[in-house]
Amino acid sequence: MISTKDTEPVLTQLNLVLKRTQTSTSPTPLISWLPETQPAPAWIPLKTHTGVTKIMPVMPDMSLYPNLMQAICQRIAYSNYVEWQQQPYEMTGVEADTNTLHVIQIPLVATAPLPSTLGRAIHAQCFQWFANADAVLAQHLHQQESVPFTLGIKYLSPKNIQLRITLLKQELLAPLLWGLHSDLGSEITLAGVRCRLSKWIDILQASSFAKLLEIPVQNTIKLQFLSPTSFKQSGTVQPFPLPDLVFNGLLRRWNHFAPSQLKFPEIKWNSLVSAFELKTHALKLEGGAEIGSEGWVIYRFSDSESAKIATVLAHFAHFAGVGRKTTMGMGQTSIQNSFIQN
């Protein structure tokens, strides 16, 4: 029996919730609101949802967050009126995130049409953001066989894309955000094209290994493969997402990153493909192209053990990706007719 009890929760992220106000009190600029905090936090706005303004104070290492939380609480007791982007706000709350898994989205607008070969450029840029915060960490990530993040690229138009980054370790969120914060609202160069990042980021989903284990069992699972997906099989590349290839790969990723008490045993999948709609597509990379499948597949599992583990892994696929080259845009996956726990 797998225990769903996580180790003691660790702060991964803090959000300050702000509300516009007409107070006559002279508010303190948010960037100088925590004068004694060292290092001074970087302030990153989140995408506004339902009119709520949230700002993240970001540190280079999540081990600094407990002291940051204490400083915020002490400061709120003194004054909860701040100025952000020349507007007065009242601080109405602080949100604490202890999740392990995160999906981050950042819009980019290019000065010229972007090539379709952005995979390696985005890959290199993400490592540069980690290096901005911690060069040793970036080097360590580069040397890992199973990298704890994935990258996805969604083209909205030839000059507009959305960069999607998923993280499988909670300690990566702080250095990633610290490393990229100076580029928000500024320009970077991708594949020789200047691109301006939005001034905000969007954390689309957040969850944990323990939360995914609590999702109700599904005997029928529909996976949507959003970008070209392929697998290594007997020394060749297999573009069809066969059940064993999909779920054995996810099982290996889960067991590599999940806490020891949440790891799964090896399993023989009692499953079949009951329906699918797939097309092969080429993901162009510098030096060539990778062929993979896009579309959907419905998998059916005939016993409760297979179904339980497959349900968890199918939701994990939203964060971990499926198959090969997931740090270059391949294997982006979502589960259909279901939900992601926040």
- As annotated, the residues of the chain forming the CATH 3.30.70.1890 domain(s) are 101-207
The reply to whether the predicted model has a pTM over 0.85 is yes
Strands 81-84 and 28-29: parallel
Whole-number pLDDT of residue 273 = 96
Whole-number pLDDT of residue 7 = 54
Domain 209-335 adopts which CATH fold? Alpha-Beta Plaits (3.30.70)
Whole-number pLDDT of residue 341 = 44
Whole-number pLDDT of residue 335 = 94
Helix 135-143 to helix 119-133 angle (10° resolution) is 140
Residue 338 to residue 319: CA distance in whole angstroms: 15
Whole-number pLDDT of residue 77 = 86
Q: What CA–CA distances, in Å, run from 321 to 127, 148, 281, 340?
A: 18, 11, 17, 14
The correct answer on CATH 3.30.70.1890 for the domain covering 101-207 is yes
Q: Buried (b) or exposed (e) across 264-287, using 16+ Cβ within 10 A?
A: beeeebebeeeebebeebebbbee
Whole-number pLDDT of residue 339 = 42
- As annotated, the residues of the chain forming the CATH 3.30.70.1900 domain(s) are 209-335
Whether the bond between 39 and the residue before it is cis, its omega within 30 degrees of 0, is: yes
Closest CA to 176 of 121, 122, 130, 127: 130
pLDDT tens string, the chain, 342 residues long: the values are 344 444 567 899 999 999 988 866 788 899 999 988 899 999 999 998 888 899 999 999 999 999 999 999 999 888 889 999 989 999 999 999 999 999 999 999 999 999 888 989 999 999 999 999 999 999 999 999 899 999 999 999 999 999 999 999 999 999 999 999 999 999 999 999 999 999 999 999 999 999 999 999 999 999 999 999 999 998 899 999 999 999 999 999 999 999 999 999 999 998 999 999 999 998 877 667 889 999 999 999 999 999 999 999 999 999 999 999 999 999 999 998 754 444
Whole-number pLDDT of residue 275 = 96
Structure tokens at 236: 């060749």
Beta strands in 181-270 (DSSP E): 187-190, 193-197, 202-207, 220-229, 231-233, 236-238
Backbone angles phi, psi at 231, to 5 degrees: -140, 155
Whole-number pLDDT of residue 21 = 87
Whole-number pLDDT of residue 340 = 43
Residue 44 to residue 151: CA distance in whole angstroms: 21
